[in-house]
Amino acid sequence: MGIQRIFEVCKEHGNPTPVIDYTPGDLWIEFPYSAQYMGIVPAEKETTQETTQETTQEKIVVLLRANPTITRKALAQAIGITADGVKYHLDKLKVAGKIRHHGPTKGGHWEVLA
């Protein structure tokens, strides 16, 4: 009941679903904040695919500037799309020359170029 209520409250307030990791003897709960909640990205209506794509990529760039070591999973939670969706947009931004990744996949960081 308690964990279910946590999920309900997060949904009611527009926050991403918490990540729960349980191993015997250890419970870990991460409460990611949405970009709108943090005031990084204003809530707005997305009406067309072109508008949605531009807006999603703009949100990603803002989050990368704020936290260059952010993971694809954390980006997905903050924006409200899948990790594969984030990968798609990161690839588009890289091809467009707007971002660059430095270092290894784990432990590297993003650089916003434009």
Domain ranges of the chain: 1-31, 44-112
- Mean pLDDT highest for which of 15-19, 92-96, 105-109? 92-96
- At 40 the pLDDT is 53
Q: Is 6 exposed, middle or buried (0-12, 13-18, 19+ CB in 10 A)?
A: middle
Tell which residue, 103, 100, 102, has the closest CA to residue 113. Answer: 100
Q: Give the pTM.
A: 0.55
* 53, 47 contact by CB (below 8 A): no
The average pLDDT across 31-39 equals 59
What mean pLDDT, rounded, does the chain reach? 79
Q: Tell which CATH architecture fits domain 44-112.
A: Orthogonal Bundle (1.10)
Higher local confidence (pLDDT), 39 or 61: 61
pLDDT of 83 > 60? The answer is: yes
